């Protein structure tokens, strides 16, 4: 009976609003394969499919780091991150009651632990995250993200882009955020990334320049004719439709970087003027804050290599104690190093004395050295360089 009072307090506490429960039949993408095989296979190789603590080293290391630095329980931080990474979770917040439980190791049977171990969230951003949304509250306060910005359909009702879609296995609804306004769906999570100090370290929605390009044109694919569902409901045939790929290409996709930026070189006296142009509708780098553009300048005298200079365009993040930290714990950052959407950034670099030519190459990295070291990331992808573009110039 030693902890009876504590247990009573904890079990009666509120753990945030519960989302609509996902029926067992729809919890896993495997159930969707019978009719949507190609789409599910594309999704399986995507980073949306890895949007889970167990499957993403960067997410896992960040959660562990935040837990250590803030002295919050690991599960409490997991629940906070689930707002976007596991938005079908049934517990949306924790409190001091849970922290007491966790410290005393009395939380094994709690709602929080059960929610984090539920099969309903084991696949991260899967079919029933995007296709079970009833309504998006884009009028909500900008601090509201992910699970706090949507209303869910009843389990077994799928939202999609087609007004005439039919299925014998689930109900269907057409929604404009699946057809005419897909950016609205992307910005449910890909906007207003805030640290624990309330500092917005990335806001892709505010930096986005609306125009002919939509998020899905690059990160899914341009529309093409294909089959969304293999059910033969169109006069004994599968219906041909305009579809998009579900591989969700992104910063981790090296081929997406080729020629994503352009480079112009000019000599001004003893200096080299580099102008980097960004034709994309969002800033580069963008995303989760620690990303980086690398500029490598290789100086030569004839065929002889003289010197290689490397310039990093990335943001450094500062904690409330004035020390370097990761974006999710930052109170501030250094001057914005990104290249603005449909804008330019000019840099002046002193040339190497005696050099007769220079080769300049732009690369992209997912995580800069500082954050990669803090998080002790081991997987090669975090330090790999993706080629963007290059240029050469003879020097006077």
Q: pLDDT per residue over 353-367, tens digit each?
A: 999 999 999 999 999
How far is residue 337's CA from residue 316's CA, in Å, rounded to a whole number? 9
- pLDDT at res. 385: 97
Confidence of residue 4 (pLDDT cuts 50, 70, 90): very low
Please report the domains of the chain, with CATH numbers, ordered by start residue. Answer: 4-243 (no CATH), 254-394 (2.60.40.10)
Long-range contacts of 304-311 (CB under 8 A, 24+ apart): 306/352, 306/354, 306/355, 307/352, 307/355, 309/349, 309/352, 311/347, 311/349
The two tokens of residue 66 are 């935040």
- pLDDT at res. 12: 35
Whether residue 30 is predicted with pLDDT greater than 50 in this model: the reply is yes
Kindly state the average pLDDT of the residues 233-243: 90
Instruction: Give 264-305 pLDDT, tens digit per residue.
Output: 999 999 999 999 999 999 999 998 889 999 999 999 999 999
Confidence of residue 10 (pLDDT cuts 50, 70, 90): very low
Instruction: Give 298-319 pLDDT, tens digit per residue.
Output: 999 999 999 999 999 999 999 9
How far is residue 173's CA from residue 165's CA, in Å, rounded to a whole number? 8
| DSSP per residue, 334-396 | SS--SBPTTEEEEEEEEPPTT--EEEEEEEEESS-HHHHHHHT--SGGGTPPEEEEEEEEE--
Whether residue 51 is predicted with pLDDT greater than 80 in this model: the reply is yes
Kindly state the average pLDDT of the residues 5-33: 66
Contact by Cβ (8 Å): 244, 55: no
Beta strands 240-243 and 224-227: pairing type?
A: antiparallel
- pLDDT at res. 79: 94
> pTM of this prediction?
0.90
- pLDDT at res. 102: 81
Environment class of residue 13 by beta-carbon count within 10 Å: exposed (0-12), middle (13-18) or buried (19+)? middle
How far is residue 134's CA from residue 160's CA, in Å, rounded to a whole number? 10
Instruction: Give 76-95 pLDDT, tens digit per residue.
Output: 999 999 999 999 999 888 88
Kindly state the average pLDDT of the residues 179-205: 93
- pLDDT at res. 101: 84
Kindly state the average pLDDT of the residues 153-176: 94
The closest of 135, 164, 169, 149 to 23, measured between CA atoms, is 169
Confidence of residue 14 (pLDDT cuts 50, 70, 90): very low
How far is residue 329's CA from residue 77's CA, in Å, rounded to a whole number? 12
Residues contacting 114, CB < 8 A, separation 6+? 90
């Amino acid at each position: 009976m030693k902890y009876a009072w504590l247990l009573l307090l904890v079990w009666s506490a509120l753990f945030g609003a519960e989302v609509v429960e996902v029926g067992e039949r729809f919890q896993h993408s495997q159930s969707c394969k019978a009719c949507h095989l190609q789409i599910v296979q594309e999704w399986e190789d995507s980073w949306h499919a890895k949007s889970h603590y167990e499957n993403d080293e960067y997410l896992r290391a960040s959660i562990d780091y935040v837990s250590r630095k803030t002295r919050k329980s690991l599960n409490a931080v997991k629940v906070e991150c689930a707002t976007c990474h596991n938005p079908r979770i049934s517990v949306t917040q924790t409190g001091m009651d849970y922290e007491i439980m966790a410290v005393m190791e009395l939380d094994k049977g709690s709602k929080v632990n059960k929610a984090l171990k539920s099969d309903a969230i084991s696949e991260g951003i899967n079919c029933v995250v995007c296709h079970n949304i009833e309504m998006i509250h884009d009028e909500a306060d900008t601090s509201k993200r992910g699970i706090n910005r949507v209303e869910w359909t009843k389990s077994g009702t799928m939202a999609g882009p087609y007004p005439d879609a039919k299925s014998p296995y689930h109900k269907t609804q057409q929604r404009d955020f699946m057809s005419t306004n897909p950016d609205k769906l992307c910005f449910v999570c890909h906007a207003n990334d805030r640290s624990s100090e309330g500092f917005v370290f990335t806001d892709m929605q505010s930096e986005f320049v609306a125009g002919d390009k939509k998020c899905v044109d690059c990160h899914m694919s341009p529309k093409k004719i294909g089959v969304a569902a293999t059910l033969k409901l169109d006069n004994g045939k599968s219906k041909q439709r305009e579809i998009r790929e579900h591989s969700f290409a992104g910063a981790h996709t090296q081929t997406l970087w080729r020629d994503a930026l352009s480079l112009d070189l000019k000599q001004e006296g003893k200096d080299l003027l580099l102008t980097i142009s960004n034709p994309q509708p969002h800033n580069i780098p963008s995303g989760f804050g620690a990303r980086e553009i690398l500029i490598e300048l290789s100086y030569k005298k004839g065929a002889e290599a003289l010197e290689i200079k490397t310039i990093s365009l990335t943001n450094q993040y500062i904690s409330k104690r004035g020390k370097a930290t990761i974006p999710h714990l930052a109170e501030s950052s250094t001057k914005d190093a990104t290249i603005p959407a449909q804008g330019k950034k000019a840099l002046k670099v002193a040339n190497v004395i005696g050099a007769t030519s220079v080769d300049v190459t732009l690369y992209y990295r997912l995580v800069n050295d500082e954050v990669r070291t803090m998080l002790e990331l081991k997987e090669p992808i975090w330090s790999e360089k993706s080629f963007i573009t290059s240029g050469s110039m003879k020097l006077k």
